[in-house]
Chain A
Amino acid sequence: MSGFDKVVTSYEEALEGLEDNMTIIAGGFGLCGIPENLIKEIKRKGTTGLTIASNNAGVDGKGLGLLLEEKQIKKMIASYVGENALFEAQMMSGELEVELTPQGTLAEKMRAGGAGIPAFYTATGYGTPVGEGKEVREFNGRHYILEEALSGDFAIAKAWKADRYGNLMFRKTARNFNPMAITAGKIAVVEVEEIVEVGQLDPDEIHLPGIYVNRLIQGTFEKTIEQRTVRKA
């Protein structure tokens, strides 16, 4: 009996069942708080035809950028895709389909997907290319567009600390899209820096309850910094 114990011990097991042409919701902002080892495992598995929703698409050779090298991504749903030459090349040549989605709308689409809300109205994108072809409705004299929820066959995410039941704590701005991404995956796989025994986390300090988590794995992380900015003492 494993009960609520979500811990798996290999990355292979963590992504068991991930197949070609599936949709993945991924956490992370830039390279901060990305599930870097799960991405490497997708590369190793060679899964292709993937649709991936993530705020960014990594950079060359890091994060989701790794999955571009063997053209494993068919479609990317993201708010910002700069700083990635391979991405640009594949987008310009039409090999990679891109659906640019405003950052807040993307976060809310994931939240809605995990919360059983099929769609929502937002003013974001009204009157812009993002609003084209979408239902418009007026509330209190303002125009809003209908945006549909996002959910995936898998969610891949990174948290800081977890107990074996998958109760999660995030650290600083590495939280970003991770909680919503996890809720929006049919199979939510989370990698963390530390797994503690049940009872060691204060229930009041858990950021996301383990009910949303299906598989949990402890990893080690590179945590690449994109823009190392410092001030002088």
Chain B
Amino acid sequence: MALTREQLAQRVAQEFQDGYYVNLGIGIPTLAANYIPDDMQVMLQSENGLLGMGPFPLDEEIDADLINAGKQTVTMIEGASLFCSAQSFAMIRGGHVDLTVLGAFEVDCQGNIASYMIPGKLIKGMGGAMDLVAGADNIIVTMTHASKSGQSKLLSQCTLPLTGKNCIRRVLTDLALMDIEGGKFILRERAPGVSVEEIINLTSGELTVPDHVPEMTV
């Protein structure tokens, strides 16, 4: 079975380590914040100028001056700090954020990512995504493995305009966890009940399959 959104978020959360500063993109990455283990401290960075983002506020706590990068009202945890956008992107570009998780339309086996623009369709803009992929060493892309019509989104070469070049090393899809090394995808884990053959069939870029591919624990 393909992973649900919640299961994807749970698997993302397995990449967290105690003491990590983490930037979570809009959508599935944000859900991962719900699965931070209790015995671990993780601090969430929101690129509009907050380190130490907490959960959504109670109704009476709502503050129009306190939002996340998705423009949602949020709270701060104890030990949070606030800063301007230049400072925020200094910590992103400067490689100070330990883990970045974001979505994509396409990823290819050169580590290229396309996530912000479909020509001919509406162009909304890249927001902070280009800075995040250029600045971080440790990035996980979360996406569906294939389009609804069954077209692979893990390609030999991205077809859409790039968000970043040669910057992605790890991709988590609803079917598999893959690393990108030496111009190839490497299958590391498969979703529970999903066969290696199914993953091979839906991966269009070059794929290396190790002898043993364990099932994810989610």
Binding site for B on A (CB under 8 A): 29-33, 55, 78-82, 88, 91, 98, 100, 102-108, 110-111, 122-130, 143, 160, 170-180, 207, 223-233
Contacts and interface: CB of A to CB of B under 8 A. Distances in A.
Contacts of A78: 125
A103 to B, nearest CB: 4
A30 B134 contact: no
Given A122-B93, A173-B49, A227 B163 contact: no
A178 B83 CA distance: 11
10 contacts: A32-B64, A80-B125, A104-B135, A105-B131, A107-B85, A123-B93, A173-B68, A207-B84, A230-B73, A233-B58
Size category, B interface? 35 or more
Nearest to A193: B65
Nearest to A107: B85
Given A102-B131, A231-B55, A172 B63 contact: yes
Interface string B25-63: 000000000000000000000111110000111110011
B193 interface: no
Contacts of B47: 103-104
Q: Which of A98, A143, A173, A226 gathers most chain B CB within 10 Å?
A: A173
B162 interface: yes
Contacts, number: 175
B130 A124 contact: yes
A180 B48 CA distance: 13
Q: Which 10 A-B pairs have the closest CB atoms?
A: A104-B89, A127-B165, A104-B131, A82-B124, A223-B64, A102-B130, A107-B85, A80-B125, A103-B128, A30-B71
Contacts of A232: 58
Contact of B72 (A80, A130, A223, A229): A229
Contacts of A124: 93, 130-131, 134-135
Contact of A226 (B71, B161, B162): B71
Nearest to B64: A223
Nearest to B112: A127
Interface of B: 46-50, 55-59, 62-68, 70-74, 76, 82-86, 88-89, 92-93, 112, 117, 122-131, 134-135, 161-166
Contacts of B66: 172-173
Nearest to B129: A102
Given A103-B85, A176-B85, A231-B56, A122 B134 contact: yes
A171 B64 CA distance: 10
B124 A175 contact: no
B96 to A, nearest CB: 13
A122 to B, nearest CB: 7
A78 B124 CA distance: 10
Contact of A228 (B55, B70, B73, B123): B73
B73 A173 contact: no
A228 to B, nearest CB: 6
B93 A129 contact: no
Contact of A227 (B67, B89, B134): B67
B128 A102 contact: yes
